[in-house]
Amino acid sequence: MTDTYLDMVNSGLGKQVAGKLGLPRPVTLRRYRADDDFPQGAVLVLGRGRAADAAAAVLLEWDLDVRRSAADVDRVGAVLLDYTEVQSPSDLGGPALELSSALRKLRPGGRVITLSRPAPGIGTGAASGTVAGAEQLAPSQAAARQGVVGLLRSVAQEMRGGVTANGVLVADGVPADAPSVVGAIRFFLSGRSAYVDGQFLTVGDDRGDASVDWEHPVAGKVAVVTGAARGIGEQVTRTLAASGATVIPVDVPAAGDALTKLANELRVPALQLDVTDPQAGEKILDLVAGRYGRLDLVVHNAGITRDKMLANMDDAKWNSVIAVNIESQLRINETLLAWDRLGPAPRIVCLASTSGVAGNRGQTNYAASKAGVIGAVAATAPLIAAKGGTVNAVAPGFIESEMTAKIPAARRQISRRLNSLQQGGTPVDVAQAITFLLSDAAGGINGQTLRVCGQSMVGA
């Protein structure tokens, strides 16, 4: 699905007209390129805490032009703000105002990243900042920590030119240079997070491996992707394969022809399987065990919509959505977790949706199923952690795909503009977020739901 408006406002006359009329001017996002994956310009590290020092050291290792002050820099590619040691709301102003002075120097495709600690008991939207076992904080410290959330989300809304702002929440007790803190910073700097905006990733423990090859973050892993014949699932399969994994695509028998083409192109076996089959988990494991002897990664992508206003909802529409979108995931996960040949760090990513976060008119069934995914992921996290693994969800917003192409044209135009990046995402954006969460760089991120929505106002 091409976004004609985006093309128009980025060329000659269209650019001028849109500027004069004050129309939205979305830009082509800086997406992942293996040879050129950092923002252009210096990286400012603001704040004087241990996390800032640790981050600066890592950024230097990546050969970036690291500065600790905004004063004499012309071109800024990214700004990191360390708020991990804030004690009261008065601690927020310093780095924020220093960021203010650097904003005009921020290049297109730049990044703002906050490092902070979660305020226990306070949800931060889909990316819940609540970490089990967190200590009770002094009210002023909790206010400061939660203040970062409001600050970051507002910054994200103010950015233009494809600049995104996201935060890393480092749980208390987790060192500022834990592998997944480094991994999350790397992800937010990268074009792999192009359509992730105004979001937080919580690092709950110090598991993971920051030294993974960033070009092939899932190298050597055996993966299964459901709903792989087309759309987001197909792209997830391709991105994981390009990132080094052996990926077995799974889809319903009726989608077998598209699945065949994908499997033959990637030289892997195709599995025609309905995920609602009570034996689906066993059938997946039979194939994977027979061919590869183990399984490392699973992406529960298979999903359907049967939209109707609740007043017009019927049994079939309700039940099929629940069965495919959430019950199949629960059943397959149960089988997976009971299996004795999972790899040493099994990782699962489930597809949720921004509809599951904020609800959506005409999608009671879909939103119930997708909110269910978010709940299931949080509850499955400790179960899979016991096996050395992680489970997370990705909640796509408006993604240009066959599914959103069916939305009437006018409504589609509005939907794709109602986010901070003023455009729809692509299946690649979702696939990249999933790839990161499946990599060992994200080993300390567990039970989270990451929105890939350009900071959508709908479903915020």
Partner 1 sequence: MSENTQNANPKTPAAASAPAAGRHAAGATGTRPVVVAGNRIPFSRAGGPYANASNQDMLTAAIDGLVARTGIAGERLGAVAAGAVIKHSRDFNLTRESVLGSALDPATPAYDVQMACATGMETVSSISNKIRLGQIEAGIAGGVDSSSDAPIAVSEGLRRALLKLQRAKTTMQKLQAFKAVRPADLAPAVPSSGEPRTGLSMGEHQALTTQHWGITREAQDELAAASHNNLAAAYERGFFDDLVTPFKGLTKDNNMRPGSTVEKLGTLNPVFGKKLAGEATMTAGNSTPLTDGASAVLITSEQWAAEHSLTPLAEVVDSEAAAVDFVTGNEGLLMAPAYAVPRLLARHGLTLQDLDLVEIHEAFASTVLSIMKAWESPEFCKERLGLDAPLGSIDRSKLNVNGSSLATGHPFAATGGRLVASTAKELAARAKKEGKPQTALISVCAAGGQGVAMLLRSV
Q: Is position 259 an interface residue for partner 1 (rule: CB under 8 A)?
A: yes
Q: Does 402 contact partner 1 by CB under 8 A?
A: no
Among 144, 156, 273, 351, binds partner 1 (CB under 8 A): 273
Residue 206 lies near partner 1 (rule: CB under 8 A):
no
Gap between the Cα atoms of 427 and 405, Å rounded: 13
Is 32 designated active site?
no
Instruction: Tokens for 197, please give them.
Output: 């905006």
- 329 torsion bin: left (phi>0), alpha (psi -120 to 50), beta (else): alpha
Determine if 177 is a binding residue for partner 1 (CB under 8 A): no
Residue owning tokens 């479903």: 459
Q: Using the rule CB under 8 A, is 341 a contact of partner 1?
A: no
Please tell me whether residue 90 binds partner 1 under the rule CB under 8 A.
no
Stretch of residues binding partner 1 (CB under 8 A), selected from 215-223, 272-280, 329-337, 426-434: 272-280
Q: Does 290 bind partner 1 (CB under 8 A)?
A: yes
Complex with partner 1: residue 173 or 269, whichever CB lies closer:
269
Task: Give the integer Cα–Cα distance in Å for 1 and 115.
Answer: 36
* Interface with partner 1, residue 272, by CB under 8 A: yes
Spatial distance between the Cα atoms of 164 and 20, rounded to a whole number of angstroms = 24
- Residue of 5, 32, 83, 366 with catalytic role: 366
| Beta carbon of residue 367, minimum distance to partner 1 (angstroms, whole number) | 29
Q: Is 344 helix (H, G, I), strand (E, B) or coil?
A: strand
The residue (of 15 and 291) whose beta carbon lies closer to partner 1 is: 291
**Residue 268 interacts with partner 1 (CB under 8 A): yes or no:** yes
Please tell me whether residue 104 binds partner 1 under the rule CB under 8 A: no
Member of 173, 269, 359, 375 binding partner 1 (CB under 8 A): 269
Of 308, 217, 298, residue with least CA distance to 32 = 217
Residue 161 DSSP class: T
Q: Which of 68, 75, 291, 361 is the binder for partner 1 (CB under 8 A)?
A: 291
How far from chain centre, in Å, is Cα 175? 23
What sign does the dihedral 179-181-184-185 (CA atoms) show? negative
Q: Does 324 bind partner 1 (CB under 8 A)?
A: no
- Counting contacts by CB under 8 A, is residue 189 touching partner 1? no
What track of x and - describes contact with partner 1 for positions 238 through 257 (by CB under 8 A)? ---------------xxxxx
Q: Spell out a b/e string for 80-113, using b for 16 or more CB atoms within 10 Å of the CB, else e.
A: bbbbbbbeeeebbeebbebbeebbebbbebbbbb
Residue 292 sits in the site that holds partner 1 (CB under 8 A): yes
Q: Which of 392, 399, 384, 379 is nearest to 350 (CA)?
A: 392
How do strand 42-46 and strand 76-82 relate by DSSP bridges?
parallel
Distances in whole angstroms, Cα of residue 374 to Cα of each of 62, 210, 258, 329, 368: 34, 26, 29, 11, 10
In this complex, which beta carbon is closest to partner 1, that of residue 65 or of residue 327?
327
Residue 43 is a binding residue for partner 1 (CB under 8 A): no
- For the bound state, the minimum distance from the C-beta of residue 259 to partner 1, rounded and expressed in Å, comes to 7
The contact set with partner 1 (CB under 8 A) reads 253-257, 259-261, 263-270, 272-274, 277, 290-292
Catalytic residue ranges? 366
